[in-house]
Amino acid sequence: MSLKQNKSEPIKTPEEPPQNAENAAENAEENGEEKKKEQEELPPFEVVEGSRIPASSFMFQFKNVEYSSGRNKTLLCYTVERGEGQIFRGYLEDEHVSAHAEDAFFTNVLPQYVSSNPVAVTCYVSSSPCINCAACIARCLRRYKTLKLQLVVARLFQWEESEIRGALRGITSAGCKLRMMKTADYLHVWQQFVEPDIILDDEGIAEQPSEQGAFIPWEDLDENAKYYEERLAEIIR
């Protein structure tokens, strides 16, 4: 699943006779206005729900390393529990080309689940939010008084920058419970949101795995989680 920027393809039209400079300028202006209007009407991203994360993507993007070189996506897994006893799950993914996963979830996905009854939301995210996404989360918490939010993150994004640190304090003061992922959280996400990678046989035909493989923690998972816990405690104390 991914958030993809919508693109409109040019429409081919039959060739027209040559125009004079004045008419050409008028047509160009009209076409420009039409294209601008069309772009404004198109949504900035597409949200697709229902699929699980490929195991290899989860293991790479959610790895709680200190330096996240090459990890240029944000993956967000969410669980929404409504007062009526209903539970909804899904995940979003972005490539940092349009909307971020957090912005998409809190702006477009969550509002459809909010009601006058209590709503408990837990988001497992591959990294903590940027400044803009943190502001979006804080606005959402102020707007929806029945919302209880827990944000569980694998890594801290640019945590040494003062603006980021202030943004994280902002969402916690707005009511968000923010903490780092531990081994138990990785096991939970693996069971609820991850699917085995597709394996091809010698003839290029996909083999259907009989069961999902077990989650195997990397060697320094607990050590890295403790490191990030200490950094987060310093930020939000």
The active-site residue, picked from 26, 46, 49, 102, is: 102
How would DSSP label each residue in 20-81? -HHHHHHHHHHHHHHHHHHHHHS-S-B---SPPEEHHHHHHHT---SS-TT---EEEEEEEE
Instruction: Show the CA angle centred on residue 74, arms to residues 39 and 117, nearest 5°.
Output: 85
Range scoring the smallest mean pLDDT among 148-152, 196-200, 218-222: 196-200
**Does 130 map to a domain?**
yes
**Does 183 map to a domain?**
yes
How big, in percent rounded to 5, are the helix, strand and coil portions of the chain? 40, 20, 40
Query: To which residue do tokens 């259907």 refer?
Result: 208
**Does 207 map to a domain?**
no
State the pLDDT at residue 164: 95
Range scoring the smallest mean pLDDT among 60-64, 193-197, 226-230: 193-197
Number of domains into which the chain is organized: 1
Average confidence score pLDDT of the chain? 78
The secondary structure element, H or E, covering residue 150 is strand 147-153
For this structure, is 234 an active site residue?
no
Full domain range(s) for residue 229: 53-196+217-236
Does residue 70 surpass a pLDDT of 80? no
Range scoring the smallest mean pLDDT among 63-72, 131-140, 223-232: 63-72
Query: What's the rounded Cα separation, in Å, for the pair 233 and 112?
Result: 33
Average pLDDT over residues 61-68: 84
The secondary structure element, H or E, covering residue 183 is helix 183-193
Does residue 44 surpass a pLDDT of 80? no
Query: What's the rounded Cα separation, in Å, for the pair 156 and 74?
Result: 12
Percent of the chain with pLDDT over 70: 69
State the pLDDT at residue 6: 34
State the pLDDT at residue 180: 97
**Does 23 map to a domain?**
no
**Does 105 map to a domain?**
yes
Considering only residues 7 and 83, tell me which one the structure prediction assigns the higher pLDDT.
83
**Does 144 map to a domain?**
yes
Residue 182: give its domain's CATH number.
Answer: 3.40.140.10
Considering only residues 70 and 185, tell me which one the structure prediction assigns the higher pLDDT.
185
State the pLDDT at residue 219: 92
Band (208; pLDDT cuts 50, 70, 90): low
**Does 33 map to a domain?**
no
Average pLDDT over residues 147-161: 94
**Contact assessment for residue 101 and residue 125, using Cβ atoms and an 8 Å cutoff:** yes
**Does 65 map to a domain?**
yes
Average pLDDT over residues 37-63: 65
Does residue 111 surpass a pLDDT of 80? yes
